[in-house]
Amino acid sequence: MIPNKLKRGDTIGVVAPSNPIIGDNIEELDRAKQIVEKSGFQVKFSNNIYAHTNGYSSTAKEKAEDINDMFRDKEVKMIWCAKGGNNSNTVFEFLDYELIKQNPKILCGYSDITSLTNIIHAKTDLITFSGTNFKTIATDETDYSYQEAIKRFVEGSLELGKENEEYVTIQEGQAEGNLIGGNLTLIHSLVSGKYQVDFKDKILFIEELGLEANPAMVSHALAHMKQNGVFDQIKGIWIGNYQHESNITLEQIVLDILTGEYAFPIIQSNNFGHIENKTVIPIGTKARIDTNQSKKIKLIEQCVK
């Protein structure tokens, strides 16, 4: 299910399904709103966006109510998550998946929002997006990530990142599959249980925040995925940014866990993750990896219409 493009003049709804909007975040969110409105869009904050009911975030029901309301609101054409954090998965049981199916819209965010974008895609077949959070529009030093969002959502471009960005081959090969993934810590928690995603024939994209996940933690997450058969099912891996003080790379840890057992292609780039430059990656859209090409991954079907 493909959402409609965003047009100048459309209303963007902003929700906070993860950590609370408090302190400096309030001013940052307002500045992001000003930037987006200056670009020609309307911005609408959800009813509970500033809620801090639990002392560590708003309640799961408050968060889910905001998401459901934004999908229900005919005026809202896109839903943008305000920021990441730790517990967006608490909303799963309170989301109205049938309502979402009946009102398909662009949904964008990254980091902890990985849980939300992947589960909504899994439950509804709606194409969702891993891209910059709304607050980050104001806190980034450049407009790279915001312009990537405009390129994807308004122009309908299939281009991943800018021209001449470096892609590194970790393991050679060619593969096609629908994209799935995001932050490794979050995606590895979705491999089993009531709320799990389907990895069969997918291209998995992963990134991690080195400030919070040391190499042993990354190894743990990847081992959990291996032990649950994820790497027996996927068609390829696209590795994004990971920076840790040890200088151990994400690709090193991936290769250590895989131990040469899998023949699928593996590539790496620095245009998504917890970094300044974040392209917008559609979850559920078909992509092709070809390590013989300079730009080693490309989208091969539309993700907005």
pTM of the model: 0.96
Specify whether the backbone of 302 is left (phi greater than 0), alpha (psi in -120 to 50) or beta. Answer: beta
On whether both 27 and 114 belong to a single domain, the answer is: yes
- Which structural domain, as residue segments, surrounds residue 80? 11-153
Give the domain-ending residue among 106, 131, 153: 153
Reported confidence tier of residue 87, pLDDT bands at 50, 70, 90: very high
Give the domain-ending residue among 97, 123, 153: 153
What is the number of domains present in the chain? 2
On whether both 199 and 136 belong to a single domain, the answer is: no
For residues 202-225, give the mean pLDDT.
96
On whether both 146 and 263 belong to a single domain, the answer is: no
CA dist 80 and 16 (Å) reads: 9
Contacts of 176 (CB under 8 A, 6+ apart): 203, 235, 286, 287, 288, 289, 300
pLDDT tens-digit readout, 119-168: 999 999 999 999 999 999 999 999 999 999 999 999 999 999 998 899 99
CATH number at residue 280: 3.50.30.60
pLDDT at 207: 98
CATH number at residue 131: 3.40.50.10740
Q: Is residue 57 part of a domain?
A: yes
Give the domain-ending residue among 96, 123, 153: 153
